[in-house]
Structure 1
Amino acid sequence: MVHTKEYIKNYEEALRTAKTSEELVQSIKAKYPDLTFETGLQLGAKVNTGEMKW
């Protein structure tokens, strides 16, 4: 559960400064290089940056 809380905190921080979904993805991948399911990360980044509607 600690990992999840940390991930959400870091994601929200990255989202505040990212101008595009690609910047957001790169920021998260830099902090968590071993993450899997990149498709989910990319989709979530597009939705959260407003590039795509959910």
Structure 2
Amino acid sequence: MQYLAKGADLRTFSQADLDAIAHELNHRPRKTHGYRTPAEVHADLLNSSDALTA
């Protein structure tokens, strides 16, 4: 799936389309996160004790 073109009118997409794009982006491993997904990094942050002090 290719993502939205710059300046795309989001009104032409259904909520399901936008949710699918968000899911794909959030569950795609990233080199910058040590090949973990953004969702994994976010979950780790929420479950860490550092999240309580930040």
Question: Quick check: TM above 0.5?
Answer: no
Larger Rg: 2
Instruction: Report the TM-score, using the length of structure 1 for normalisation.
Output: 0.34
Select the structure with the greater relative contact order (CA < 8 A; seq sep ≥ 6): 1
Instruction: Report the TM-score, using the length of structure 2 for normalisation.
Output: 0.34
Specify which structure has the higher proportion of helix.
Answer: 1
